[in-house]
Structure 1
Amino acid sequence: MWFDSWSDILRVVSVGSAAYVAVIAILRLTGKRTLAKLNAFDLVVTVAVGSTLATILLNSDVSFAEGVAALALLAALQLVAATMSSRLGVGRSVLTARPTLLVVEGRLLDDAMKAQRVSPDEIRQAIRSSGHGDVSRIAAVTLESDGSLSVIANDKIGDRSALTGVQNTAAATDAQGK
C-alpha cells in the first residue's frame, strides 16, 4: 500500500523525532562504549538498538514510552556488560573472544587459521591493505576480538608488548628466538 493516512505519517515524524532525541540522550548518558565496535557482543547491541528504533518508528502497537524503555534497557545492559568486561577478567573472557595470532615472522599458522576460519587469502588481503607487499617482512598478523586483522611489520614490532594477551604468543616467542 502506498499511503494509509496523514495521521500515520504524522505519528512517524513526531515519534521518530522524539525517539531520535531519546537515543542521542541515552547514548550521551551511557558513554561512547555503548555503540563501540570492540567485539561481537557490542555489534549485537548496536543492531538491537537500531532494530528497536525502527520498531518505535514503524510499529504503532509499541508506544513511545515502551520504546524508550527498551532503548534504555539495552544501553543499561551494555553498560553493565562493558563494566564487567573492563574490570573483571572473568567478565571479559565470557563476553569477548581473545585475539589470536595468525602469522608469526612471515609464517602462517595453519592450525590457528583453521580454528578461527580465516583463509590465507584473507590474511594476504590484510597485509596488502596495510601497505605491505612481502609476507616474509610481517612480524605478526592478529585476528582481533572485533573480527578485524591487525598487521605488524618487522620494522614496527618493537618489544612485542602489543602481543600481550594474544593467543599463540608462544609461537611468536619461539619464532623470535629462531
Structure 2
Amino acid sequence: MDTVLRIAVIYLFVLVGLRVLGKREFGQLSPLELVSLLMIPEIVAQAAVGSDYSLTTALTAAATLFVLVFVTSMLAQRFEVFETLVSGRPTVLVHNGRFIEAAMNHTRVTPAEVFSEMHKAGMEVLSEVKWAILEPDGSIAVIAHDPPSDKPGHPPPEKKLAL
C-alpha cells in the first residue's frame, strides 16, 4: 500500500507542476503523456538498481501509474472542467494582426515563435493574421483573414492581365 500511495502523490505532484509550468514547456505532449513518460522509467529503475530490488514493488508502482493515467483520462473525457484543469485552455496570442501582449507574456511566447508559425502557414506579415492561438498541446495555430472574394456581398478582386 505504501508504494501505491507514494506513486499517487508523485503523480499528482508532477501533474500539477507541469500545469504550473505552462503549455509551451510540453511541446506536442499532453500533460498525461508527459507524466507517464517521465515516471515509468524511474519506477522501473527503482526495482532494477534502487534500494528496493523487488519486482513486485516495481510492477505495483507501474500498475498504479497506469491506473492513475487511465482514471485521469476518463475523468478528462467525461468532465470538461476536469479536462480544463488537466490540459488547460487555448490562449489567443494575435487578434486581427495585433499581438496580445498580456497573453504572450503570460504564456512566455515570443513574437519570433509566432512569426515562425505564420511563415509555415504561408503568411508574411502580421496584418494577414486573423487569429494566432496557443493550443493546450503547446502548438500555435495561425488563421488568416478571409480573402475579400470569400465575404458575402463583396465582388471578387479584379485581375489584371499582363500583355
Q: TM-score, normalised by structure 1?
A: 0.58
CA 1:155/1:56 → structure 2, altered by over 3 Å: closer, same or farther?
Answer: farther
Decide whether the 8 Å contact of 1:104 with 1:141 is kept in 2: yes
Q: In structure 2, how many angstroms separate the alpha carbons of the residues matched to 1:127 and 1:78?
A: 35
Deviation at 1:55, TM superposition (A): 3.3
Decide whether the 8 Å contact of 1:138 with 1:154 is kept in 2: yes
Provide, for residues 100-144 of structure 1, a one-character-per-residue CA deviation record: whole Å limited to 9, x for no partner: 111122221112112222221221122223443232222221111
Q: Which residue of the other structure, out of 67, 77, 92, is the alignment partner of 1:101?
A: 92
Q: Which residue of the other structure, out of 120, 125, 128, is the alignment partner of 1:134?
A: 125
Q: In structure 2, how many angstroms separate the alpha carbons of the residues matched to 1:54 and 1:128?
A: 43
CA 1:54/1:151 → structure 2, altered by over 3 Å: closer, same or farther?
Answer: farther
Q: Which residue of the other structure, out of 101, 108, 114, is the alignment partner of 1:117?
A: 108
Q: TM-score, normalised by structure 2?
A: 0.62
Number of the residue aligned with 1:51:
42
Q: In structure 2, how many angstroms separate the alpha carbons of the residues matched to 1:144 and 1:53?
A: 32
Q: In structure 2, how many angstroms separate the alpha carbons of the residues matched to 1:38 and 1:54?
A: 23
Number of the residue aligned with 2:60:
69
CA 1:74/1:105 → structure 2, altered by over 3 Å: closer, same or farther?
Answer: same
Task: Determine helix, strand or coil for the equivalent of 2:92.
Answer: strand
The list of structure 1 runs, each at least 4 consecutive aligned residues, that deviate by more than 4 angstroms after superposition, is none
CA 1:54/1:118 → structure 2, altered by over 3 Å: closer, same or farther?
Answer: same
Give the unaligned 5+ runs of structure 1: 1-36, 157-178
CA 1:133/1:62 → structure 2, altered by over 3 Å: closer, same or farther?
Answer: farther
**How large is the RMSD of aligned CA atoms in angstroms?**
2.4
CA 1:55/1:150 → structure 2, altered by over 3 Å: closer, same or farther?
Answer: farther
CA 1:128/1:52 → structure 2, altered by over 3 Å: closer, same or farther?
Answer: farther
Provide, for residues 14-54 of structure 1, a one-character-per-residue CA deviation record: whole Å limited to 9, x for no partner: xxxxxxxxxxxxxxxxxxxxxxx553343122211232233
Q: In structure 2, how many angstroms separate the alpha carbons of the residues matched to 1:103 and 1:141?
A: 5
Q: In structure 2, how many angstroms separate the alpha carbons of the residues matched to 1:94 and 1:63?
A: 35
Q: In structure 2, how many angstroms separate the alpha carbons of the residues matched to 1:91 and 1:119?
A: 29
Q: In structure 2, how many angstroms separate the alpha carbons of the residues matched to 1:41 and 1:68?
A: 20
Give the unaligned 5+ runs of structure 2: 1-27, 148-163
Equivalent pairs: percent with the same residue? Answer: 32
Q: In structure 2, how many angstroms separate the alpha carbons of the residues matched to 1:66 and 1:75?
A: 14
Judging by fraction of residues, say which structure has more helix. Answer: 1
